[in-house]
A and B are shown apart, each in its own frame.
Chain A
Amino acid sequence: MGWTKKILRVDLTKGTCKSEPLNMEWAQEYLGQRGLATKYFIEEVDPKVDPLAPENKMIMATGPLTGTAASTGGRYSVITKGALTGAIACSNSGGYFGAELKFSGWDMIIFEGKSPKPVYLSIEDDKVELKDASHLWGKTVFQTEEIIKKSHQDPQIRVASIGRAGENGVMFACIVNDLHRAAGRSGVGTVMGSKNLKAVAVRGTQGAGAIRDGKAFMAATKAAKKVLADNAVTGQGLPTYGTQVLMNVINEMGASPTRNHRDVQFEGARKISAEAMHEKRPDGKSHLVTNQACFGCTIACGRISKLDETHFSVVNKPEYWGASGGLEYEAAWALGNNAGVDDLEALQYANILCNEDGFDPISFGATISAAMELYELGILTKEQIGMEAPFGSAAALCKLTEMTAQGIGFGKEIGLGSYRLCAKYGRPELSMGVKKQEFPAYDSRGIQGIGLGYATSNRGACHLRAYTVASEVLGIPVKTDPLVTEGKADLVKAFQDATAVFDSSGTCVFTTFAWSLVDLQPQLDAACEGGWDMDKLNLVGERIHNMERLFNNAAGFTAKDDDLPPRLKTEAAKTGPAKGLVSGIDKMRPEYYKVRGWTPDGVPTKETLDRLGL
């Protein structure tokens, strides 16, 4: 069955916690996690709601494979209306928290209202209570986990919490679990902070036992694990080099946004790459300590590193000398290439602060780079920022990260995110993103399909909703030419719909370097009642994507919002294989609407909605 069939509803205004049966009819139509939680959200929340108002809700949801032996089966998602974007938000995280939530007997938690004072939710199986968190308010993520484990006298508790960024209203705050895994994007941590909810602490002893056919499930998961092990990316590249395996690859193909997307190749990429993390530093040690898996994951792409104790950022701060999470590719790129900083130690220091106080290194790094461009243009001055902040300044990066984490000085303005910052200083077009969410680590001029993916992602610019890079760069499942627009509408739709299924299952989208839905299907079918064949999965994926679109349309988004900043449409790539190219987004968008069965204005037609049962 996969599901525990129980959801927990927490009214933060009244301070009550209630158990409800899971709507099994919806589970058959929306599977779990992203899909099912979004269905609940859309049924219960006005699309026009202010993301930071008590009327906004926030859902933490597991999938049917979360907490099972399926490889990567440890994921959970946070669904809300994003503080950064005002669009539907769905941020996915690994670590161990999601599985523990499932083990405690709950498929999802719906948070509503706003607590009059800081609280945290404590879950020990059926024993659920809101506890005072006044002693935790103002504490970092790392401190919060430690204090909760100590006060409960239980080191096996798993914690998801916000740091000071979520408390201080940083618009791209995350929810961090297990020290360095995060539901990172769209400001889901900002929403959590607005509700005065500091943390969720879970201990589960019930397990995930309701598997429909145990024998078939074990056989299906074993076969799927072999597919991951035998694949060059998931079996070798990711465990050895992590996602950072991409740093040199993407840079060489001229698709590495550099200095706020002014350039597409970063001359310092080699110095901050996976290979550099393996090499010996002047102190005789390598940056990388080991790799780390999330719950159930047989890939283990996560990185654990140790800083050089003599680096200027930490020279007198032994609290940062221990092993810590990072660098992953997105963070390395956003803090590195995009800000023009090639100091590996500085990037990891900034990354640790992002984990420690809970803010998204992608949006943060992009906002830093926008500020650096405003500084170089003379729009922001040294006095306003409090320091010189040209592109490439590791000192400015480290200082501004500290100020953002603490919510002081110009750090408060960085906390606005790049769109609000650039708009405040009269240059909104310098914000590199879609729907107010900053781009991740691929340039839309050198990889055309990903630009369409960014423009049409329901949560704002995002690589994880349609990772066409797999096809356009790595040839998975088939190689397509990254420099052309032809065929990309179909490609983006196919990736978006399949991704919606993976995001709703409890497994990690990184499996799709090796798996397609054909590999996921037997695992889901063995775990869940209801007959999960390929036709059903394909329909569920498309249904979820369209459901999210309907919410965004009702929230006020239109076709105009499915667009890229003018820089990517008018300033051609200066170097590399894409030299001379701009994004063909205006050509791809109408093709995509057609493929989707939407009107030229980006609205799903009645036929499409009928076909999908929406």
Chain B
Amino acid sequence: MQKSLHIDPNKCTGCLQCEMACSYENHGVFNISKSRIKVFNFEHEGRKVPYTCTQCSDAWCMTACPVDAIRIDAGTGAKVVHEDVCVGCKVCTIACPFGTVNYVAESGKVQKCDLCGGEPACADACPTGAITYVDADWTGLDKMRAWAGKTDTQPRTSA
């Protein structure tokens, strides 16, 4: 079964544990400026939204890369940047409509979410279930269940 990251912004508290987990997993350091997932805080609306790569099937970044440095991981379906091939041209950062591929000045390469090889650290670290790693074909299952629970099967009494 292919899985994908599923984000429910309503559950996000803005604690940034996901960003720390991501930077620690990928860089061995707690450093949110190196995280591949970002939480955006829309203060005046009281909304926090975690955002990262959704692993497009026909990925713009992959198509745009002139050196084939971005390839599909057979196990997870993630579009993975191969750092040894990446030349840091940043064309993928322009191609991505969502901004989720970003350049890392320190390494001179780009980075994006690679689903941590199938065990995403962000989902594991999220204390509220705002980020989960679920069946890619059924990311809507929880929402369906919630609405199903509200479905009124009793006949309405007329006023």
Q: B15 contacts the other chain (Cβ, under 8 Å)?
A: yes
With A68-B20, A229-B127 as known contacts, state yes or no: A293 contacts B30, CB within 8 Å: no
Q: Are B33 and A207 interface neighbours, CB within 8 A?
A: yes
Q: How far is the CB of B24 from chain A (nearest CB, A)?
A: 7
Q: A477 contacts the other chain (Cβ, under 8 Å)?
A: no
Q: A231 contacts the other chain (Cβ, under 8 Å)?
A: no
With A69-B17, A295-B15, A322-B45 as known contacts, state yes or no: A206 contacts B31, CB within 8 Å: yes
Q: A34 contacts the other chain (Cβ, under 8 Å)?
A: no
Q: How far is the CB of A312 from chain B (nearest CB, A)?
A: 22
Q: A344 contacts the other chain (Cβ, under 8 Å)?
A: no
> How would residues 184 to 228 of chain A score, 1 for a CB under 8 Å from any chain B CB and 0 otherwise?
000000000000000000001111110100100010000001000
Residues of B within 8 A of A323 (CB): 43-46
Residues of A within 8 A of B20 (CB): 68-69, 296
Q: What's the tally of chain B residues with a CB closer than 8 Å to chain A?
A: 26
Q: Are A290 and B30 interface neighbours, CB within 8 A?
A: no
Q: Are B31 and A296 interface neighbours, CB within 8 A?
A: no
Q: A298 contacts the other chain (Cβ, under 8 Å)?
A: yes
Within 8 A of A (CB), among B93-132: 125, 127-128
Chain A interface, >50% SS class: loop
A142: nearest residue on chain B (CB-CB)?
A: B43
Q: Are B15 and A298 interface neighbours, CB within 8 A?
A: yes
With A225-B127, A229-B127, A323-B43 as known contacts, state yes or no: A300 contacts B13, CB within 8 Å: yes
With A179-B43, A306-B46 as known contacts, state yes or no: A207 contacts B29, CB within 8 Å: yes
Q: B28 contacts the other chain (Cβ, under 8 Å)?
A: yes
B34: nearest residue on chain A (CB-CB)?
A: A207
Count class of interface residues, chain A: 35 or more
Q: How far is the CB of B58 from chain A (nearest CB, A)?
A: 31
Q: Are A205 and B14 interface neighbours, CB within 8 A?
A: no
Q: B23 contacts the other chain (Cβ, under 8 Å)?
A: yes
Q: A447 contacts the other chain (Cβ, under 8 Å)?
A: no
Q: How far is the CB of A160 from chain B (nearest CB, A)?
A: 16
Q: How far is the CA of A297 from the CA of B125 in the complex (A)?
A: 11
Residues of A within 8 A of B21 (CB): 69
Q: B47 contacts the other chain (Cβ, under 8 Å)?
A: yes
Q: A380 contacts the other chain (Cβ, under 8 Å)?
A: no
Q: A254 contacts the other chain (Cβ, under 8 Å)?
A: no
With A225-B127, A296-B16 as known contacts, state yes or no: A289 contacts B46, CB within 8 Å: yes
B10: nearest residue on chain A (CB-CB)?
A: A290
Residues of A within 8 A of B46 (CB): 289-290, 292, 304-306, 323
> How would residues 2 to 14 of chain A score, 1 for a CB under 8 Å from any chain B CB and 0 otherwise?
0000000000000
Q: Are B13 and A293 interface neighbours, CB within 8 A?
A: yes
Q: How far is the CB of B22 from chain A (nearest CB, A)?
A: 11
Q: How far is the CA of A322 from the CA of B15 in the complex (A)?
A: 21
3 nearest A-B residue pairs (beta carbon): A207-B31, A323-B46, A209-B29
19 further contact pairs, Cβ within 8 A, besides A207-B23, A207-B30: A205-B31, A205-B33, A207-B27, A207-B31, A208-B30, A209-B29, A229-B127, A290-B47, A292-B14, A293-B14, A295-B16, A296-B16, A296-B17, A298-B17, A300-B13, A300-B14, A306-B46, A322-B43, A323-B46
28 contacts between A and B (CB under 8 A): A68-B30, A69-B17, A69-B30, A71-B127, A156-B33, A204-B33, A205-B31, A205-B34, A206-B31, A207-B31, A207-B34, A208-B29, A208-B30, A214-B28, A289-B45, A290-B47, A290-B48, A292-B13, A292-B48, A293-B14, A295-B15, A295-B16, A298-B15, A298-B17, A300-B13, A300-B15, A300-B128, A306-B46
Query: Contact residues of B with A, CB < 8 Å?
Result: 13-17, 20-21, 23-24, 27-34, 43-48, 125, 127-128
